[in-house]
Chains A and B, each alone.
Chain A
Amino acid sequence: MRYESQKEAYPYFVLSSILFCLQVIFGLIIGAQFIWPGLFSSVLPFNIGREIHLNTMVFWLLLGLMGATYYLIPEEADRELYSPAIAKMQFWLLALTGVAAVIGFLFGWTEGREYIEAPRILDWLIVVGALMFLYNILMTIIKGKGWTVVTGILISGIGGLSVIYLFGMKFFGNLVLDQYYWWWVIHLWVEGTWEMIAAAILAFMLIKITGVERKHIEKWLYIETILVLGTGILGIGHHYFWIGTPEYWLAIGGFFSMLEPIPLVLMVWDTAREYKKTNIKHPNELALYWIYGGVILHFIGAGVLGVVQTLPVVNQWTHGTQLTASHGHLAFFGAFAMLVIAAIYYMVPDMVNHKYSQKLGKKAFWTMTISMVLMTAVLFGAGLVQVYLERVLGMDFNTVKNQFMNIWMIWRFIFAVVFTIGVGMFTVDFFRILLMVRKTNTVPKTPESLSI
């Protein structure tokens, strides 16, 4: 860390980790409701619990990515943040909006569209928050030493994300059109703009940690972004097979989404290569755990679990089953959750030159990753059984759920409990490091070897 204003990232990380805890607690409750449908159902019906589970996730990931951006922009632009005051105001605006959304959901205030349930007025507040954010980082770059590839791709991703959000704000009477544009938001976020942001933050951390030449890493950042967007934008077609859109989407979606794993394979390959090239031993092993672990689970969750069901001949059987839930959980965790946690573990201990105990953090890492892999494996099994009984044999949904799903859902719940314990460890560890960092008031001059 070289600039005082990089600390503006920390409140974002704090709220991010609190919302992460909320997300898994609500996830645990709705996971239990699969087994005991009556549990808390009078105070917290499944649909409200799930809505909170999804929205806290979107929120904590976005806050985490924003925090990471605030941290890296001053270093990339070689100057203090344009306005720490805007960063603070933006934080409080978004925090209050998030609290209002969650409380509103509990009382049935909702727009009723998955992931983007926040009511219209809150949508506008989120847009204002996003504009403040964009303005602040743009001004920092412009007043600083100018663009780098990392900031270019990062800002394009953030700009794109904000524009795409607008397509989720309209009411459509026609359900087909509703789902059509809903996918613009969801797909072009997670398989487009979020990927750009994540790739840029990952590249930044790799430059700092591995000591591999910036030029090399930036070249790969370009190549990956070209491939992600070149396959991903039209890869949206794999959501347009069965929602009432024309038949040509079967060909377009099938073709482009088969190519979507390519950039992920390259990412794994290239990161491994960079890891081998590293000639300095960075003291922050834990950040590396999350970075490399994330790269691997990103590839398995988003790439492998996605591509196996993306062709129309397979997807007609698997669409809308627990297989999608399996893919969704591992993809979000690997691609974004692990990256945000990696950023937190790199960017917070940076204040104290990465001198901190990594014991609890490593325990949290193994607990969370192993239980998440097992949980999604169980969901995958549940999905296969569901596809066979419901789609192939023609049994009715409720019969399958009541007679055949319980054992799978019990295992899922067990692994979810273990995962929650892991999240608890992470949270404790994070606040421990944060308190340690707060005691150090001055920005340390990092040794040259750690800041390239």
Chain B
Amino acid sequence: MKSLRNILVAVVLVSVLALVYLTYDSTAQLAQRTPPLTDDVIKGKEAWQQNNCINCHTILGNGAYFAPDLTKAAAKRSGKWLIGFLASPDTVWPGTVMANISLTSDDAKNLTAFLTWVKDVDTNGWPPKPLSVLQKDSHESNVNGFGATIDRGIGVFDSEGCSGCHRINGIGGNIGPDLTKIGNARDKEWLKNFLQNPQNVKPNTMMPAPNIPGEEMDALVDYLAGLK
């Protein structure tokens, strides 16, 4: 029994010492693996905890599995979109499950800074690139001709979170109309007018004004008009 006890003590000592050393080394490498911490990132982290975000979302893959993983949120959506959405989820994304947590605009900005910081953490390649990039396929399969503008239009479509409400080829939300063949129904001019101010064209629409600057708007309109 005594020898077993000594083995136990030795095993624990060696394991703990190894863990302490690895902790020391991992901490020393932190500066290379994470972007610099600024005040607004730290404030954003505080807001992240105060609003108990982890108990719906995951981040770096850890959390509650009820809402999307936010590790790369800032890569998927524009900063402007995130700030707007965090300050008033329902306005930017009608029908979202996200609770209206009534953040101050400062908190929304800080949280966005925090999410932007997380996006650049070196996660050893996680999450992995999908084996088949279905999203992109679904965009492209019925676009006439590819090109830089169309790619850019797809980028705008993604970063503005359009697929939260609209479907293309079966992928996306079902709050807004299906856009798979929108190019048949609407021309560029109509689309541009509508996207600049949805309420003007359709007074009762749920569609929020996406507020997209000129060139990006043109790219998005080109892309949508090509969906036939």
Contact = CB atoms under 8 A, between A and B. Distances in A.
Contacts of B209: none
Contact of A176 (B18, B34, B64): B34
B76 to A, nearest CB: 9
A99 interface: no
Name the residue in A48, A174, A233, A395 with the highest tally of chain B Cβ atoms < 10 Å from its Cβ.
A174
Contacts of A395: 134-135, 171
B61 A149 contact: no
Contact of B126 (A41, A316, A394, A398): A316
Contacts of B133: 394
Interface in B45-85: 45-46, 48-56, 58-69
A240 B59 contact: no
A34 interface: yes
A46 B65 CA distance: 11
A233 B19 contact: yes
B148 interface: no
Nearest to B121: A244
Chief secondary structure at chain A's binding surface: helix
A104 B75 CA distance: 35
A358 interface: no
A365 to B, nearest CB: 29
B49 A111 contact: yes
Interface residues of B, number: 73
B228 interface: no
Nearest to B76: A396
B52 A222 contact: no
B200 interface: no
B62 A219 contact: no
Interface of B: 1, 4-5, 7-8, 11-12, 15-16, 18-19, 22-23, 25-27, 29-30, 33-34, 37, 41-42, 45-46, 48-56, 58-69, 97, 99, 114, 117-118, 121-136, 163-164, 171-174
Given A245-B26, A317-B128, A394-B133, 13 more contacts: A50-B64, A108-B52, A112-B51, A152-B5, A171-B49, A175-B121, A230-B15, A243-B62, A246-B26, A246-B29, A320-B62, A321-B65, A398-B173
